[in-house]
Structure 1
Amino acid sequence: MVDQTPDQTPDQTPDQTPVRDLLRERQFALLISARTLSMLAVAFAPVALAFGILDLPGATPTTLSIVLASEAIAVVLFMLVGGVVADRYPRHRVLQVAEWVNALAHAALALMVGMERAPLWGLVAAAVVSGTATATVWPALTGIIPEVVPQEHLQQGNALLALGTNIARVTGLVAGGLVVAAVGGGWALAIASASFAASGVMVALMRLPLRVPAADAGSEGEVGSSSVLADLRDGWDEFRSRQWLWVVVVQFSLLVMVFQAAHLVLGPVVARDELGGPKAWTAVLTGEAVGLIVGVLVALRLRPRRPILLGVILTIGAAPPYLLLGFSAPLYVVVASAFVMGVCFDLFGILWQTTMQRVVPAASLSRVSSYDALGSLMLGPIGLVLAGPAAERFGAHKALVVCGIVMVVSTGGALLSPGVRNLVAPGPVSAAALEPEPDPVRPPA
């Protein structure tokens, strides 16, 4: 791990964490409940879908790749539109609809997998619907957090949301693996569907004040094509003007490509063939999820002077689990490395989210977040499409080693950027875009 002491100054002591105050706020309590339920569904889905599809008659790793890639492609195609929608309409309503659409998509997947009547086109169609819904969730979520959390407590709010979702992830992974092993992937997908639906109900109960939209939506509230294009151009200008932002997004486009291949296809293949099946892979995922919880606890107190530099360094933790799998390490070693990866990922995610929410203007935050997500995810389908055939032709072990090497190289490349190395932590009340400056901008005592 990296020693963060040199990156902190005496004046940057952690704020008193307003945990109780935040949880007593009705809107934040509803949001954290909704996100926890949604993550419970997300945690059930990977194990259920992976082993549910692999256990279908005639299914191969390539079948799994096609279904997962279809969902990922839908996310990429609709991500920018999701950002525009989330900046122009009430973000809690956007989240509500997205959760309910995801519930319907997973209900369809549960029915097909459970009945073992799952034509490839049907699986792909349900995956595309789910991906389209998911494309609106991330930009809307990034933008809604500053609407319910005070600026000075954004990092604590992000950390509390992450804590709830990570506890749900651990619960979902353990329970999901047991359900898949006991009664099959169909029932696990049905539970995921119900959890998505309940999340939508929680969001529907939120009551947020009206805000000024990103651009004039017209007298009847309809978004014209020219307005959408103008919104996209404005969001792109905000995105590209910050070197640290687009450099890390380029890094993640490569990292996510190989991570999805390793995490969603190659890892489950090795687990099925050599480590004992769903229970073994659930152990790996659970190790990662426990690490995510520990990362939240660290993030509640950590105040690095250069959050993006520290965050990028931490992403090197993504590589060890897949390198170890590639070299046939014992399961307990892989689980331990997945725990470290979880700690690193969660610290990065909280530092990244908080920095974006403090630096990017609120009116364009969802669009900038959509460019962030689009750039990070756009190569993911390529990794998923290639993962299955690579496992069949070269072997899953060699493919996993290549994935780990790409993760290390992409992290090193991002660290060459001055914007990544020099961006200092912005003050909690800042809403303007700041470029790195010689003197640190310290949060108030």
Structure 2
Amino acid sequence: MSVRSARPAWAGRNYTLLTAAAVVTNLGAHGALIAATFAVLQSGGSGADVGLVAAARTLPLVLFLLIGGALADRLPRHRVMVAANALNCVSQGLFALLVLAGEPRLWQMMLLSALGGTGQAFFNPAAEGMLLSSVSGEHAGRAFALFRMAMNGAGIGGAALGGAMIAAIGPGWVLAVDAAAFAVSGALRAFLDVSGVAAREPGGGMLSDLREGWQEFASRPWLWSIVLQFSVVVAVVGAAESVYGPLVARDHLGGAGPWGLALGAFGTGTICGALLMMRWKPRRLLLVGTLCVFPLALPSAALAVPAPLGVLVVVMFVSGTAIEVFGVSWMTTMHQEIPEEKFSRVAAYDWFGSLSMLPLATAVAGPVESLVGRTAALWGCAVLVTVVTAAVLTVPDVRRMTRRPAPVAAAGGERPAPAVPSAGCPADGACEGVSRG
């Protein structure tokens, strides 16, 4: 049976290449995240040092996201993605050599982490725009669920394998594997077919492009309110996962191996969530998705106790399942509501807002632990996730956003422009509460 006949009819060349490249990237990246943390700890670093290295990666990611989004709507997106993969390959390769050579210095690890974050800043908006333009509205939900299932399935293997490799041969080799994964995924993305993508009209300059993207972003209360919510959620969950989690694992669970198992359970949950979303099409997309953010408070609470490894694994599985329901609902909503030619810029504002507080959170995680204690800090993380998620449910558009019937795909397989609701919405509420600015 050929590859073409084995895949679904809606999974075209670009979708297949993007999914394969994401699988390769995530196999390396999930292990590398654990490896970077334990590289700092094994070099004699403290929890504060772990937070500084994590902040060094996320700070340039936040700073360059808006420029990356504007470039991705102006240049061929696949070229932006390949260039970003090349930068990540070089930065992770140098990080691996540094660790394998012994006695890595904190400033060196921070510098290389910052290079990796810069690559991601240009990659993320281009990747989202490329993925969403590769599928039609009719199959969008199923396509996003399958993509995320494949990506997160690779994350399970990457986290488990990475934890085992760190325990057996050290973090340096795991970082080297991640560098090789970036090289392979970049090569795959170089073969993306952009001949069917409509040429974009030149804009009035970078500032004009950014201003246009901001207008699209700010005109939608459902969009900016959830991004504000996630600026807090991503910050506190990131601090718990990148700083407090490894420390709890080291002190109470047995080190990198058990922590990798817990992260693998989270990945397993995301696969189950994706499988669910391949069959389930909730009508109120954002209401269902937002309710599924509440379980993200559970891992911080379990680490605060600290719960036994078995309990932590179950909690991570449940939170992974729930957040995947949100993820697919969010991508489907963005696909439905945002014009394709402006998508990367809007996605950049989404990423920028969601990640804006992460560098600060990871940088101050160590000092906060010294000030109030690890247990109190973790309980604070759990409370913040709960409070901001409850707050976003007060936004009418979040409660009322509904799935609309997909328009007929345009000729050539391009994604059709999303329909704009008018004052004459049908009585069945198919466009109830949707703000288009």
Calculate the TM-score normalised by the size of structure 1: 0.90
1:34 aligned partner, one-letter code: A
1:67 aligns with 2:53: yes
Q: CA deviation at 1:213?
A: 5.4
1:439 aligned partner, one-letter code: D
Equivalent residue for 1:270? Answer: 248
> Of 335, 340, 364, which residue of structure 2 is paired with 1:357?
335
Equivalent residue for 1:38? Answer: 25
Q: CA deviation at 1:146?
A: 3.0
Q: CA deviation at 1:296?
A: 0.7
- Trace 1:217-256 onto structure 2 (pairs within 5 A): 227-256=205-234
1:95 aligns with 2:73: no
In 1: Cα distance, 2:117 partner to 2:358 partner: 13
Contact 2:145/2:278, CA 8 A, preserved across alignment:
yes
Equivalent residue for 2:9? Answer: 21
In 2: Cα distance, 1:19 partner to 1:311 partner: 28
1:261 aligns with 2:239: yes
1:126 aligns with 2:104: no
1:316 aligned partner, one-letter code: F
Question: Structure 1 161/111 Cα, relative in aligned 2: closer, same or farther at 3 Å?
Answer: same
Question: Structure 1 378/98 Cα, relative in aligned 2: closer, same or farther at 3 Å?
Answer: same
Contact 1:254/1:379, CA 8 A, preserved across alignment:
yes
1:156 aligned partner, one-letter code: R
Q: SS of the residue aligned with 1:208?
A: coil
- Trace 1:280-429 onto structure 2 (pairs within 5 A): 280-429=258-407
Equivalent residue for 2:72? Answer: 86
> Of 126, 133, 136, which residue of structure 2 is paired with 1:140?
126
> Of 176, 194, 199, which residue of structure 2 is paired with 1:190?
176
Equivalent residue for 2:428? Answer: 439
In 1: Cα distance, 2:420 partner to 2:295 partner: 29
Measured against aligned partners, the alpha-carbon deviations of 1:392-434 in whole angstroms (never above 9, x if no partner) come to: 3332222111100100001001111111111111332261455
Q: CA deviation at 1:354?
A: 1.3
Contact 1:213/1:363, CA 8 A, preserved across alignment:
no
In 2: Cα distance, 1:198 partner to 1:51 partner: 25
Question: Structure 1 394/213 Cα, relative in aligned 2: closer, same or farther at 3 Å?
Answer: farther
Contact 1:28/1:149, CA 8 A, preserved across alignment:
yes
- Trace 1:169-188 onto structure 2 (pairs within 5 A): 169-188=155-174
In 1: Cα distance, 2:337 partner to 2:106 partner: 44
1:30 aligned partner, one-letter code: L
Equivalent residue for 2:41? Answer: 54
Equivalent residue for 1:8? Answer: none
Question: Structure 1 396/27 Cα, relative in aligned 2: closer, same or farther at 3 Å?
Answer: same
> Of 143, 164, 178, which residue of structure 2 is paired with 1:157?
143
Contact 1:53/1:113, CA 8 A, preserved across alignment:
no
Q: CA deviation at 1:147?
A: 2.5
Aligned length: 415
1:126 aligned partner, one-letter code: L
Q: CA deviation at 1:137?
A: 2.0
1:355 aligned partner, one-letter code: T
Contact 2:392/2:398, CA 8 A, preserved across alignment:
yes
1:199 aligns with 2:185: yes
Q: SS of the residue aligned with 2:9?
A: helix
In 2: Cα distance, 1:96 partner to 1:60 partner: 35
In 2: Cα distance, 1:350 partner to 1:95 partner: 22
Calculate the TM-score normalised by the size of structure 2: 0.91
Question: Structure 1 148/391 Cα, relative in aligned 2: closer, same or farther at 3 Å?
Answer: same
In 1: Cα distance, 2:279 partner to 2:261 partner: 28
Contact 2:65/2:348, CA 8 A, preserved across alignment:
yes
Q: CA deviation at 1:65?
A: 0.8
Q: SS of the residue aligned with 1:148?
A: coil
